[in-house]
């Protein structure tokens, strides 16, 4: 009997061997050990980096992830076709855009909540102050230099904020602050930030007259030049150039800034309102009515210089053209005879 069933047993053993080989092939890199229900992991092989570019077909995902990715791309395409502007905005990087002017990071910080009053060239002295604004702290003939009386009556003002009676020879956008560098030269040399940058002809030369300021009321900002000293004080450097937030005077509710009728009309303020102000460089002054008038206005003088340079250049070009025409005529026709007769 053993001999009869021997071929059958041999065939059965071969089938078991083939089945084991098939199971090992399906299991992949994991090998089946002799211990029951134990899978021994093998070290994965590290493939050498390939220099060939992957095919887009072979790199695509499969299964549910591929369906989700395809749906996302389809929705993105629909959004771009339906609203291209929104799609473009969505791709822009997020940036920080401040909605209010900076108060501490500028070169010259803002002085905030300052009582502001209105004054004008030619204003007579009042009971509050004995000063007469026909002259300034730096110009004994201020009204004459300006061109006349800067009438504050709104009906006497033009659409571009100047006086109707005459074209001002100086900038109608002017202000006054309570410090005088001519009468306080020792203090001025240490507290004025731009003192060393401006050459002084003598100790009586001011370095603050004509300096530009920005005056802010609400959301509006006006620009003007410093042309007089006041109100009330002439040595309040701690407020003007220092860290004192308010002026030292107690007069007129602690006023710290005087502005001209042009500044008043541009900002729409009334005398006694609280404003903010700060110094600014000429490069910070934007286009506006404050750049239109004045022999003391650098924007006007710059235009005058540019026109003078253009006129000078045109005269040079005219002389060069005349010389060229004379040379061309001599080359073509030959030199003129000495006796004045033709050849």
Q: For residues 31 and 105, what is the distance between their CA atoms, to the nearest angstrom?
A: 69
DSSP per-residue string spanning 113-171 = EEEEEE--TTPPP-SS----TTS-SS-TTHHHHHTS-----GGGB-TTSSBSSS--SS-
Q: In 3D, which of 228, 211, 202 has the Cα closest to residue 145?
A: 228
Q: In 3D, which of 31, 118, 108 has the Cα closest to residue 284?
A: 108
Beta-carbon-side half-sphere exposure of residue 246 (alpha carbons within 13 Å): 11
Sorting pLDDT into bands at 50, 70 and 90, what band is 2? very low
pLDDT of residue 56 exceeding 70, the answer is no
Q: For residues 119 and 261, what is the distance between their CA atoms, to the nearest angstrom?
A: 7
Beta-carbon-side half-sphere exposure of residue 180 (alpha carbons within 13 Å): 15
Sorting pLDDT into bands at 50, 70 and 90, what band is 103? very low
Tally the residues of the chain. Answer: 343
Beta-carbon-side half-sphere exposure of residue 15 (alpha carbons within 13 Å): 6
Question: Contact, 172 vs 227, CB < 8 A?
Answer: no
What tens digit of pLDDT does each residue of 212-265 get?
999 999 999 999 999 999 999 999 999 999 999 999 999 999 999 999 999 999
pTM of the model: 0.60
CATH of 111-294, one of 2.40.40.10, 3.20.20.30, 2.60.40.10, 3.40.250.10: 2.40.40.10
Tokens of 15: 């089938």
- Residue for token pair 């070290």: 43
Helices (H), 28-118: 64-82, 84-91
pLDDT value at residue 323: 81
Determine how many CB atoms are found less than 10 A away from the CB of residue 153.
10
What tens digit of pLDDT does each residue of 169-207 get?
999 999 999 999 999 999 999 999 999 888 877 778 899
What b/e string do you get for 57-88 counting C-beta neighbours within 10 Å, with b at 16 or more? eeeeeeeeeeeeeeeeeeeeeeeeeeeeeeee
3 burial (CB, 10 Å; 0-12 / 13-18 / 19+) is exposed
pLDDT value at residue 322: 80
What tens digit of pLDDT does each residue of 270-318 get?
999 999 999 999 999 999 999 999 999 999 877 555 555 666 667 778 7
Q: For residues 178 and 180, what is the distance between their CA atoms, to the nearest angstrom?
A: 7
Question: Contact, 150 vs 261, CB < 8 A?
Answer: yes
């Amino acid at each position: 009997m053993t001999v009869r069933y021997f071929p059958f047993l041999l065939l059965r053993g071969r089938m078991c061997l083939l089945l084991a080989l098939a199971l090992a092939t399906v299991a992949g890199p994991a090998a089946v050990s002799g211990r029951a229900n134990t899978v021994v992991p093998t070290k994965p092989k590290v493939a050498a980096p390939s220099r060939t570019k992957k095919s887009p077909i072979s790199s695509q995902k499969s299964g549910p992830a591929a369906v989700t990715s395809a749906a996302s791309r389809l929705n993105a395409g629909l959004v771009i076709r339906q609203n291209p502007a929104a799609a473009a905005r969505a791709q822009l990087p997020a940036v920080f855009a401040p909605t209010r002017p900076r108060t501490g990071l500028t070169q010259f910080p803002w002085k905030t909540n300052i009582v502001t009053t209105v004054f004008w060239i030619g204003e007579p002295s009042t009971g509050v102050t004995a000063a007469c604004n026909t002259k300034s702290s730096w110009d004994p003939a201020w009204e004459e230099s300006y061109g006349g009386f800067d009438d504050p009556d709104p009906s006497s003002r033009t659409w571009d904020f100047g006086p109707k009676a005459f074209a001002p020879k100086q900038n109608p956008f002017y202000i006054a602050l309570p410090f005088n560098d001519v009468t306080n030269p020792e203090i001025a040399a240490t507290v004025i930030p731009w003192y060393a940058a401006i050459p002084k002809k003598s100790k009586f030369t001011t370095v603050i007259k004509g300096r530009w300021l920005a005056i802010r009321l609400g959301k509006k900002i006006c620009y003007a030049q410093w042309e007089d000293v006041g109100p009330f004080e002439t040595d309040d450097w701690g407020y003007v150039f220092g860290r004192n937030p308010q002026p030292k005077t107690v007069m007129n509710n602690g006023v710290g800034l005087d502005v001209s009728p042009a500044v008043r009309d541009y900002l729409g303020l009334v005398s006694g309102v609280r404003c903010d102000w700060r110094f600014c460089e000429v490069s910070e002054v934007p286009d506006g009515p404050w750049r239109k008038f004045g022999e003391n206005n650098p924007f006007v003088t710059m235009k005058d210089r540019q026109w003078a340079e253009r006129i000078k250049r045109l005269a040079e070009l005219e002389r060069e053209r005349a010389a060229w025409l004379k040379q061309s005529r001599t080359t073509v026709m030959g030199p003129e005879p000495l006796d004045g007769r033709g050849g």
